[in-house]
Amino acid sequence: MLVPWSTQAQSVARPPPNILLVLTDDQDYMLGSSSREYMPNVNSLVGDAGLELQNFIVSMAWCCPSRASLFTGRFVHNHNITSGKWPQGGANKFLASGFGNDTLAVWLNQLGYNSYFTGKYLNGFGAELAMPEPCPKGYRVFEGLVQKRGQYK
């Protein structure tokens, strides 16, 4: 026999946890770019208390395909952003393929988060074709770098 039972104590709804995602390029472990010499503040604030992976793989270790994977939750062979520039990749291909409508920022927004973005979004962002709207979907504030020809080479 099951008897419903409860205490009079009310459960207090907790706000969702804050999320801070820091995404950088060219952090090659073999070349030592993560050493204290190059990034002392990051290492003291994050690295010392963080996680160092000893065995890991990525589907493509290049900035634009990796960012597309992080933004969409898809492996490179599923989103086919294989380069940093058109026609194989970059912001133009990412947005033209419709991926800008279904990203981590959109999903977090649907859960009630206010997402803020600053810095490099995807290679080619802001160039001719890659500006269908003022800011990618899901971000409350978007301060992405607008790429002019010759940047990110």
Q: Tell me whether residue 63 is one of the annotated catalytic residues.
A: yes
Give 124's contacts (C-beta < 8 A, 6+ positions apart): 84, 85, 86, 90, 91, 92, 130, 147
What's the CA gap between 27 and 42, in Å, rounded? 12
Contact by Cβ (8 Å): 117, 144:
yes
Q: Which among 29, 37, 63, 112 is annotated as catalytic?
A: 63
What's the CA gap between 68 and 96, in Å, rounded? 13
**Which residues have a catalytic role annotated?**
63
